[in-house]
Amino acid sequence: MRHNVKGRKLGRTTEHRKALFRNQLASLVESGRIRTTLSKAKELRPIAEKIVTKGKRGTVDARRQVRRWLSQRELVKKLFDEVAPRFQERNGGYLRILKLGPRSGDGAEMALLEFVDFQVVGTDKKGAAKAEKAGRGRGKAEVEEQPEGEAKAPAKKAKPGARSAKPAGKPAPKAKAKAPSKPTAAPKKRSTPRKAGSE
């Protein structure tokens, strides 16, 4: 029994698990929100919150400690210059987990891990909830809106037997008479009968 052993193994070795968390942390700092399984989100949140706390310190030593988890210099700079200053007045609790329900493939519980001040781009707080429900993790086709004056008129159906209107000017060229084509040969009959079930 695993008494007093905290943390989930997530079916991975230690190195694999740490690499997974590094990748997820990079995506979280870059975009402000990630979609993952609930158990991974619960394991990642404490690590991410400790990193944000180090970002609030802003010292050289803190940057070196954060570099253990974030290998890209641009993301470390973003954490210290943009993300951490937003939480200067907050003592912990920088991230939240929103449950999304089971995944359609294997039934795994899915969740969103995001910063508490995260907003969908171009929406207010009320619009963010609607946008979240509309595009919950699945790619949705964006509908292009046309200006009101430029709406396309539906194509008119031509009446049978009616000629299409051609611009006045040069008369249409006369069609040349074609030579009679050679008659096509009839298809050959099979000499051997087909086997049952071959079609």
Q: Which residue has the higher pLDDT, 101 or 142?
A: 101
Provide, rounded to the nearest whole percent, the portion of the chain with pLDDT above 70: 60
Q: What's the whole-number mean pLDDT along residues 104-126?
A: 83
Q: What CA–CA distances, in Å, run from 64 to 32, 71, 114? A: 22, 10, 24
Q: What is the pLDDT of residue 177?
A: 61
- From the centroid of its chain, how far is CA 91? 32
Q: What is the pTM of this model?
A: 0.59
pLDDT band at 162, cuts 50/70/90? low
Using the predicted structure, report yes or no on whether residue 188 has a pLDDT greater than 70.
no
- In this structure, are residues 13 and 21 in contact, taking their beta carbons and an 8 Å threshold? no
Q: What's the whole-number mean pLDDT along residues 28-38?
A: 94
Q: What DSSP designation does 10 have?
A: T
CATH of 14-134, picked from 3.10.450.50, 3.30.300.30, 3.90.1030.10, 3.30.10.20, is: 3.90.1030.10
Q: What's the whole-number mean pLDDT along residues 105-120?
A: 90
Q: What's the whole-number mean pLDDT along residues 117-134?
A: 62
